[in-house]
Structure 1
Amino acid sequence: MTCARCQQFAAAPGGTLCVRCAVPGAVVRSPVGLGRATATLLGVVIAADLFAVVADVLEMNVTGDIAEGVTGADVVQRADHADALYNASGIAQAVALLATMTVYLCWLWRVRVNAEAFNPGGHSKARGWTIGGWFVPVVNLWFPRRVTLDIWDSSAPWAERPGHALVNLWWAMWIVSLFADRAADTESRHAHAAAALHQAASMMLVSDVIDIAAAALAVLVVLKITRMQHGRALAGPVPVPALG
Structure 2
Amino acid sequence: MLCTRCRIRTAVTDDGLCTFCSGTRPPLPDHLAPAALGPGGWGVGDWPRSPVALARAVTALLGTVIATDLAAIGTGLHLRNMWQGAADAEDTAAQGSRVQWADQLHDVATDVQQTVFLLTGILFILWFHRTRRNAEVFDPSVQKMGPGWAVGGWFVPVANLWFPYRVADGIWTGSAPVSPEGGRVAVSRALLNFWWGLWVASTVFDHFTERMLGSSGTPEQTAQGLALMAAADGLEIVAAVPALLFVRALTRMQVERAAQPPVPAPAVPGAHR
Measure, in 2, the Cα distance between the counterparts of 1:203 and 1:16. 62
Q: Residue 219 of structure 2 corresponds to which residue in structure 1? A: 194
Higher relative contact order (CA 8 A, sep 6+): 1
Query: What SS does the aligned partner of 1:133 have?
Result: helix
User: Aligned runs of 1:75-224 on 2, under 5 Å?
Assistant: 75-158=95-178, 159-224=184-249
Identity of aligned residues (%): 38
C-alpha separation between the residues in 2 aligned to 1:160 and 1:232? 11
- Tell me the residue number matched to 2:77: 57
Question: In structure 1, what is the equivalent of residue 52 of structure 2?
Answer: 32
Kindly indicate whether residue 84 of structure 2 is the aligned counterpart of residue 70 of structure 1.
no
Amino acid paired to 1:225: L
Q: TM-score, normalised by structure 2?
A: 0.75
After superposition, give the CA deviation of every residue in 1:100-146 in whole Å (9 maximum; x if it has no partner).
11111111111111111111111011111111110011211101011
Question: How far off its partner does 1:80 sit?
Answer: 2.2
SS in 2 for 1:235: coil
Query: Which residue identity is paired with 2:191?
Result: L
TM-score normalised by L of structure 1? 0.83
| CA apart distance, 1:150 | 1.0
Q: State the Cα distance separating 1:74 from its structure 2 match.
A: 5.1
Query: Conserved in 2, the CA contact under 8 Å of 1:26 and 1:113?
Result: no
Distance between the aligned counterparts of 1:131 and 1:221, measured in 2? 18
Q: Report the Cα distance in structure 2 between the residues aligned to 1:61 and 1:16, rounded to whole angstroms.
A: 71
Give, as a single letter, the amino acid of the residue that structure 1 aligns with 2:259: L
1:134-186 per-position Cα deviation (integer Å, ceiling 9, x unaligned): 00112111010111111111111113121111111111111111111111111
Matched residues in 1 for 2:153 and 2:33: separation?
A: 34
User: How far apart, CA to CA, are the structure 2 residues paired with 1:140 and 1:166?
Assistant: 19
CA contact (8 A) 1:26 1:116 kept: no
Question: Where does the alignment leave 5 or more consecutive residues of structure 1 unmatched?
Answer: 1-13, 18-24, 240-244
Superposition CA RMSD, Å: 2.2
CA contact 1:157–1:232 (8 Å) conserved in 2 = yes
Distance 1:160 1:100, change over 3 A: same
Q: Give the number of the structure whose alpha-carbon radius of gyration is greater.
A: 2
In the TM superposition, residue 54 of structure 1 has moved relative to its aligned partner by 0.5
